[in-house]
Amino acid sequence: MSHARHSAALAAPARGTWLDLRPAEAVPVLAGLRILDVRQPDEFRGELGHVPGSELLPLDRLEQALDSLDPRTPLLIVCRSGKRAAAACERLASAGFDAVYNLEGGMIAWNAEGRPTCDHPHDDVGGDCQAEWSLS
């Protein structure tokens, strides 16, 4: 599998690939993406916070959740620095997901650009701030 740098308007990556999006590129299209944060719960609620509207799905639970995710839904994958998210993107792309994007630089880059964050389960910044992934 492979990935590429995104450089223009949001375009779907080729099947079996994924794209990096900088925070500034992701913000205008967030409403059209399902945001999955693959960090651990303590990081999700920790000092870096999380992207408003994101869902916690730790990387170690991704494989178990694959059948519950719609492969046609565009996904933005987030972690601390982009490394775990890249691993998740690789797995999702290899599983045939249509549109997978990695938040380049992760929450470190998101915070460096002064983007809004949630850091508590009850925060509400612009709507539903966060949700815990639930595998039933």
Q: Which residues are catalytic?
A: 79
How many helices (H) and strands (E) are present in the chain, helices listed first?
5, 7
Strand partners, 101: 19, 76
C-alpha 110/C-alpha 50 separation (Å) is 9
Question: DSSP letter string over 26-55?
Answer: HGGGGGGSEEEE-S-HHHHTSTT-B-TTEE
